Structure 1
């Protein structure tokens, strides 16, 4: 399963890099076309994610993974051979839809195959795989361009390898429905009921959802902030690498941290570290001081560490707390809400920066994350009665 996850993550990030590289250099696309491509790639996750998750709940996850690899292979070949930019964009949308299936299917399989005590270590490994794929994919795309190899053909080949990695035998379907949450109910009703009756899941999800909003609120302005403060041109790329390095360090600490501290303490620590690393650069500006490049990079290692802890804790809490028969529905719906906020948040952050300043946006974002930490630490988790059967 982890090998399949590594293949899937590699396909995701290689495709993402190749799509926009091809639009820029093969199709000479303008900003409008690139904006449409971004929408076609990401919006399916917002609109269709919950229903794809519900579909996975009703079918064998192994079979769903196979179909996702098959569709991704076909879409990669279509992207390679697309005769017009319009068809290329349609193929981008098909990639976006195919990418929705692996997440809920893998959640089901990890829940089924692993004992409870193995779930924290698995969350660490999955996050490590994702971060390494994010770092390596642009390098792979650059090498393919240098060697004049067709990147989408490599992506299709990886999809075939992914199919071969999956076991031949189909396990029985996980979808035994409980009376409290029948499959015929609307996905949003199922999602609401699960959150209402699982207090820790509700707390972790809402706080990490707010963290995602905070990330989107300031992240699009980071390059402009660095430019305004006079940092060298390569600083932004270095910061991206540092956040990934911080998340990788988080994967090494997560398993031991889960054994030692309760989820609320980890969630508070995640939000506090995340908030301090955003607030500090803004506070330095307001203090009329300067922050050396090395110190800035160190802050963003902490930023990736803090945010990564929240991501892993949410993954673990969903697997432990969510009823198995609706695991795909709930995780996919939660992911769709995160994506929606990360689309809206940059618009709000940019609008606020236009009427105030970029450093004020960072100040607000950091303060909000620290406020989340205080809320998580000081406000007890409210318990709700279980649903009636």
Structure 2
């Protein structure tokens, strides 16, 4: 019962998060007609997580009420969405930008923060299955969120799309409060700065964790280029830029299929970091075929296959963190990893804005594929470094339930 409530809470929060980018852009364009401001709104929402992730994770590890912290993140998103809706185009731009940045500070909690609860809600023998459900939550949100925001905006208006974000964020917060409340023992809560330092040192010096994190970070930079490359590739094959959204849908559908059909089998071993490296490499190999696809149908098929190739990577990185991180640092490592991925994707998206028009979308996608292969190789090398990180452990301890 706890895991089913968890999936509902995490999915509602993540769908709301996935709606934000689309809803912000559409509201800014409708209110101001300024694409630069629209882009700045998304950047203001995403970029603060670069600095906030390690601190948020340490705070979550130290908090006696993790579920209350996560619910507070949902309330913050709901309130700031209402504030942005009231201010955008009607007040100085600094106000809605500031509101977006405020809620963006807490953004990593929606991904890594929720995921850090999973080992505390299920027994050890149910962890692989629970990670698959958690990965499906990410994939389902990535699939549903943008489509829901676009549909509401098209039928009711962008203002109502922002209201939809607020409602879903509030629902996620309410369900989160119904989860079992988990906490570390009071005597096992180190000073905040020490906790931040310990978590970062552990992440950097535990070879399997370091390698897997490096792979996901570099892969996210490469994947960020696709935010520009997919629409322009769709135009190159005569389908129109709007069909780029279908390519993202195909990628997520393939990922969900992989999670449903392959995750438990591939993650049955004791080296989940190898799955991280393998999925990145397979993803890169399949993506090399995308520039060769002559039409939309063929491109959709190849991209869906690429989604299958990479789909198990998400539960694999979750399993890697859980296997190689002590319980007292898991929230920080998870949230820091999420913030790194968000930041790297944003960097890739910025690079793609100049790269794709200069090289053509097909060439840019081939470079993305090469980037995935390079990410896999770099991770393997980082994971082979001699030495053990502090606190490396294949086990985990359950927090007290109160």
TM-score scaled by structure 1?
0.84
**1:31 equivalenced with 2:35 (yes/no):** yes
The 5 Å alignment of 1:186-205 reads 187=196, 189-205=197-213
Cα shift at 1:8: 0.6
Cα shift at 1:318: 1.2
Structure 1 residue matching 2:267: 3-state secondary structure: helix
Which residue of structure 1 aligns with residue 317 of structure 2?
Answer: 314
* Match of residue 55, structure 1, among 59, 73, 90: 59
Greater radius of gyration (CA): 1
Which residue of structure 2 aligns with residue 125 of structure 1?
Answer: 133
Which residue of structure 2 aligns with residue 77 of structure 1?
Answer: 82
How far apart, CA to CA, are the structure 2 residues paired with 1:35 and 1:46? 18
Q: Larger deviation: 56-65 or 8-17?
A: 8-17
* Match of residue 166, structure 1, among 155, 176, 193: 176
Which residue of structure 1 aligns with residue 399 of structure 2?
Answer: none
How far apart, CA to CA, are the structure 2 residues paired with 1:131 and 1:99? 17
Structure 1 residue matching 2:116: 3-state secondary structure: helix
How many residues are aligned here?
380
Tell me the C-alpha RMSD between the 2 structures: 3.3
**1:2 equivalenced with 2:12 (yes/no):** no
Cα shift at 1:239: 1.0
Q: Larger deviation: 170-179 or 297-306?
A: 170-179
TM-score scaled by structure 2?
0.81
Which residue of structure 1 aligns with residue 284 of structure 2?
Answer: 275
Cα shift at 1:186: 7.1
How far apart, CA to CA, are the structure 2 residues paired with 1:341 and 1:380? 20
The 5 Å alignment of 1:279-298 reads 279-282=288-291, 284=292, 291-298=294-301
How far apart, CA to CA, are the structure 2 residues paired with 1:22 and 1:176? 45
Cα shift at 1:386: 5.0
Which residue of structure 2 aligns with residue 185 of structure 1?
Answer: 194
Structure 2 residue matching 1:384: 3-state secondary structure: coil
* Structure 2: gaps spanning 5 or more residues: 1-5, 393-402
Which residue of structure 2 aligns with residue 365 of structure 1?
Answer: 368
How far apart, CA to CA, are the structure 2 residues paired with 1:139 and 1:56? 31
Which residue of structure 2 aligns with residue 225 of structure 1?
Answer: 233
**1:18 equivalenced with 2:18 (yes/no):** no
Cα shift at 1:15: 3.2
How far apart, CA to CA, are the structure 1 residues paired with 2:206 and 2:375? 20
Cα shift at 1:273: 2.1
Which residue of structure 1 aligns with residue 332 of structure 2?
Answer: 329
Q: Is the 8 A contact 2:247 2:300 kept in 1?
A: yes
Q: Larger deviation: 29-38 or 372-381?
A: 372-381
* Structure 1: gaps spanning 5 or more residues: 285-289
